[in-house]
């Protein structure tokens, strides 16, 4: 089954063609990140307008790259939640029109379920159940992936997402937007114990996460140094920060995996590209004897193929949408359509 997959939840417009959920035939992406850099964060209206400008030609490019015709498309999958509402609406309306015009099924896909499915592309042998750490610019979740379309949240952030926190700190340190990658590179060779940053414990919810206290502590630290007129020890600050974020994420993910006994741990989302988090997960999984699934960097961020992969499993489960499909800014990952 060949699925045309559409993703437009933030500042990346992506269209891919995926066969039977696992084989990527093409994956075309256009990003408006450069335009947002000027403002230090995504400007929703700009993102939506860029999606409108490029989405149709990206679909043509995806077909051409795959060497396919429109009549080869068996279904259309689209991110319908969560994300910037105007941005998601562009993809949903485009997908609805294509599905209607071709007379094929429309498959709504939850964006974070799509991130999880990036693992199915990277690891053809992987099947649920497993525990998945989902960390991106908009989400920080520890998910029990019981089945391809059966998921439960084990832990969630109470405030900011991990990526949001990386972006904010990078911006204050003058490292640009999006800041996760530059902050990660800046941390290389830094002393991760140079600054004493808080580690959070939430009573009665040991797997829940929180980043706002860490963000404030980092901001205070940076302001203090600036007030003293001292040059920022960028590498040490970045390394201490990465260690604090990793300490928040990795032990909780491992605890969740231990409790469920699956022996399989995955990590997805843009922040899964972070070298410190990857290293700590590798070490922790090795110690526990768990198999770790970490998609390559290019599959960590937003792209269309992940929506095509998850779309296939949603289709098999009968989770289809109609012409009345709506977009949602927020949506629980455990809900069907
Ligand atoms: O998954 P993604 O591409 O988009 C969302 O769905 O949000 O994630 C983007 C986030 C941004 O916050 C970006 O700064 C962060 O992923 N990111 C990183 C790294 N690379 C990207 N964060 C930490 N370390 C990285 N190496």
Task: Report the C-alpha gap between 280 and 286 in whole angstroms.
Answer: 10
Helices 180-187 + 162-172 axis angle, to 10 = 70
Q: What is the pLDDT of residues 155-181, one digit of tens each?
A: 999 999 999 999 999 999 999 888 999
- In 3D space, the residue among 298, 303, 328, 306 whose CA is nearest the CA of residue 13 turns out to be 303
Q: Report how far ligand 1's centroid is from the alpha carbon of 69 (Å).
A: 34
Q: What is the pLDDT of residue 115?
A: 96
Q: For 129-162, what is each residue's pLDDT tens digit?
A: 999 999 998 889 999 999 999 999 999 999 999 9
CA 131 to chain centre: 15
Q: Which residue has the tokens 């991106």?
A: 136
The reported pLDDT for the residue numbered 34 is 84
Cβ–ligand 1 contact at 301 (below 6 Å): yes
Q: What is the pLDDT of residue 333?
A: 93
Q: Indicate which residue's Cα is closest to atom 13 of ligand 1.
A: 180
Q: What is the pLDDT of residue 80?
A: 98
End-to-end Cα spacing for the chain: 21
pLDDT score for 41: 80
Residue whose CA is closest, atom 7 of ligand 1?
A: 137
Is the distance from CB of 36 to CB of 42 less than 8 angstroms?
yes
Say yes or no: CB of residue 180 within 6 Å of ligand 1.
yes
Between the CA of 324 and the centroid of ligand 1 the distance, in Å, is: 32
Pair type for strands 291-293 and 106-110: unpaired
pLDDT at 40: 77
Residue with tokens 């808080």, as numbered in its chain? 198
pLDDT confidence of residue 271: 96
Q: pTM above 0.85? A: yes
- Please give the helix or strand (H or E) that residue 90 lies within, else none: helix 85-102
β-strand partners of 24: 18
> Taking 90 as the threshold, does the pLDDT of residue 337 lie above it?
no
Whole-number Å distance, alpha carbon 272 to ligand 1 midpoint, is 7
Q: How far is the CA of 207 from the centre of ligand 1 (A)?
A: 21
Distance CA 306, CA 290 (A): 24
Please state the φ and ψ torsions of residue 53, each to the nearest 5 degrees.
Answer: -65, -40
**Ligand 1 pocket member 10 (CB < 6 A):** yes
pLDDT digits (tens, 9 = 90+) for 90-130: 999 999 999 999 999 999 999 999 999 999 999 999 999 99
CB 105 less than 6 A from any atom of ligand 1: no
Between the CA of 179 and the centroid of ligand 1 the distance, in Å, is 8
Question: Ligand 1 test: best mutation among 12, 183, 301, most atoms within 8 Å of CB?
Answer: 301
Q: Which pLDDT does position 32 carry in this prediction?
A: 86
The CA 274 to ligand 1 mean position distance, Å, reads 8
Three-state SS string over 191-227 comes to CCCCCCCCCCCCCCCCCCECCHHHHHHHHHHHHHHHH
Burial track 150-176 (b if 16+ CB lie within 10 A, e otherwise): ebebbbbbeebbbbbbbbbbbbbbebe
Tens of pLDDT, residue by residue over 178-209, are: 899 999 999 999 999 999 999 999 999 999 99
Ligand 1, residue 164: give the atom nearest the CA.
12
Establish whether residue 114 lines the binding site of ligand 1, counting it when its CB lies within 6 angstroms of any ligand atom.
no
Establish whether residue 273 lines the binding site of ligand 1, counting it when its CB lies within 6 angstroms of any ligand atom: yes
- pLDDT at residue 42 in the model: 86
What lies within 8 Å, CB to CB, of 132 at 6+ separation is 116, 119, 142, 143, 145, 265, 266, 267, 268
Per-residue pLDDT tens digits for 56-97: 999 999 999 999 999 999 999 999 999 999 999 999 999 999
Q: Which atom of ligand 1 is nearest to the CA of 161?
A: 12
- The region of weakest confidence among 5-9, 184-188, 198-202, 276-280 is 198-202
Please provide the average confidence, as pLDDT, over all residues in the chain: 96
Within a 13 Å sphere around the CA of 4, how many CA atoms are in the beta-carbon half?
Answer: 31
Q: Is the CB of 155 under 6 A from ligand 1?
A: no
Q: Could you identify the atom of ligand 1 that is nearest to the CA of residue 300? A: 1
């Amino acid at each position: 089954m060949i699925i045309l997959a559409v993703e437009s939840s933030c500042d990346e417009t992506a269209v891919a063609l995926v066969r039977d959920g696992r084989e990527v035939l093409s994956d075309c992406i256009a990003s408006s990140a450069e335009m947002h850099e000027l403002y230090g964060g995504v400007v929703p209206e700009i993102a939506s307008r860029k999606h409108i400008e490029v989405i149709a030609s990206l679909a043509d490019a995806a077909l051409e790259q795959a060497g396919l015709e429109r009549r080869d498309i068996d279904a259309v999958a689209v991110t319908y939640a969560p994300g910037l509402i105007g941005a998601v609406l562009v993809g949903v309306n485009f997908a609805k029109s294509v599905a209607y015009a071709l007379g094929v099924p429309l498959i709504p896909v939850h964006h974070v379920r799509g991130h999880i499915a990036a693992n199915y592309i990277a690891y053809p042998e992987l099947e649920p159940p497993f525990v998945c750490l989902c960390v991106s610019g908009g989400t920080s979740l520890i998910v029990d992936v019981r089945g391809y379309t059966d998921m439960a949240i084990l832990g969630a952030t109470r405030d900011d997402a991990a990526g949001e926190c990386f972006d904010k700190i990078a911006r204050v340190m003058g490292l640009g937007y999006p800041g996760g990658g530059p902050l990660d590179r800046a941390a290389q060779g830094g002393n991760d114990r140079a600054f004493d940053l808080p580690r959070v414990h939430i009573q009665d919810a040991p797997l829940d996460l929180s980043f706002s206290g860490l963000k404030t502590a980092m901001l205070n630290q940076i302001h203090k140094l600036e007030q003293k007129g001292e040059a920022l020890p960028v590498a040490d600050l970045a390394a201490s920060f990465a260690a604090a974020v990793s300490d928040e994420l990795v032990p909780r993910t491992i605890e969740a995996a231990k409790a469920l006994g699956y022996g399989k741990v995955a990590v997805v989302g843009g922040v899964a590209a972070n070298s410190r988090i990857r290293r700590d997960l590798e070490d922790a999984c090795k110690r526990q004897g768990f198999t770790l699934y970490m998609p390559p960097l290019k599959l960590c961020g937003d792209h269309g193929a992940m929506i095509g992969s998850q779309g296939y499993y949603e289709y098999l489960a009968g989770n289809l949408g109609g012409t009345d499909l709506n977009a949602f800014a927020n949506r629980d990952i455990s809900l069907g359509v």
